[in-house]
Amino acid sequence: MAFFPASLENLIDKFASLPGVGKKSAQRLAFHILALSDAEALSFANAITDAKRSVHRCSICQNLTEGETCAICQSDRRDRSTICVVSEPRDVLSIERGHEYNGTYHVLHGVLSPMSHIGPDDIHIKELLQRVASDEVQEVIMATNPDTEGEATAMYISRLLKPFNIRVTRLAYGIPVGSNLEFADDATLNRALEGRTEM
């Protein structure tokens, strides 16, 4: 005998299919939905279909947008001579939060991963090369994650960019600001030593 009505079980299953949501949490979320007003529940459902329908990739930088191009690519206050290459849209958010960077972005939507059969044609490398070839680009900053795959992807792309004779840089490695040397891992500490600067 099913304990919950079929449509409730179905909603629980949907929530449970989300990353990081277990069966118990999914139940709690589904009960929360049932406790919403009809209008609120409908608005939640519409938010899903609206986002799915409206959001696509910027034709220039591949970041998520509702227009043909994204707000950053459209802005005339951004420096188009510098492109910061990131693997995911959320990484754009992280860098924008610093209010330091004023160039444009290029979102790869993934990293090279032979283990997961993700090759150069599966992420937006070709579009980056096209931008570098056609635009007034002077520097590409590789800002993929500092893990094995992010590292390999940065390395691979930097080699492809060699012929263009532009500056290709990588985010600095080092100890995080405000952290404690005691808790820094060896690899980070070594990189911080290698990259030491004059005071």
Query: Which residues touch 189 (CB under 8 Å, ≥6 apart)?
Result: 175, 181
CB 56 within 8 A of CB 65: yes
Judging by beta carbons within 10 Å of its beta carbon (0-12, 13-18, 19+), is residue 65 exposed, middle or buried?
Answer: buried
Angle, vertex CA 104, rays to CA 100 and CA 106, nearest 5: 120
Closest separation in Å from C-beta 81 to its own copies: 20
Among 59, 62, 64, 190, binds its own copies (CB under 8 A): 64
Single residue of 16, 55, 68, 136 touching its own copies by CB under 8 A: 55
Site size toward its own copies, by CB under 8 A: 54
* Residue number, 93 or 155, with CB nearest to its own copies: 93
Q: Given the complex with its own copies, which of 49 and 134 has the nearer CB atom? A: 49
Angle at 113 between CA 115 and CA 170, to 5 degrees: 150
Counting every residue written for the chain, the total comes to 199
Shortest distance, CB of residue 88 to its own copies, whole angstroms? 8
In this complex, which beta carbon is closest to its own copies, that of residue 32 or of residue 167?
32
- List the one residue from 16, 60, 66, 170 that touches its own copies (CB under 8 A): 66
With CB under 8 A as the contact rule, which of the stretches 91-99, 119-127, 143-151, 175-183 interacts with its own copies?
A: 91-99
- Residue 30 near residue 15, CB atoms below 8 Å: yes
Indicate the DSSP class of residue 118. B
As measured in angstroms, the least distance from the Cβ of 35 to its own copies is 10
Residue 27 lies near its own copies (rule: CB under 8 A):
yes
Biggest CA pair distance of the chain: 72
Task: Write out the two tokens for 93.
Answer: 């958010």
Binding site for its own copies (CB under 8 A): 1-8, 10-11, 13-14, 18-21, 25, 27-34, 36, 38, 41-55, 64-66, 71-72, 75, 88-90, 92-93, 96
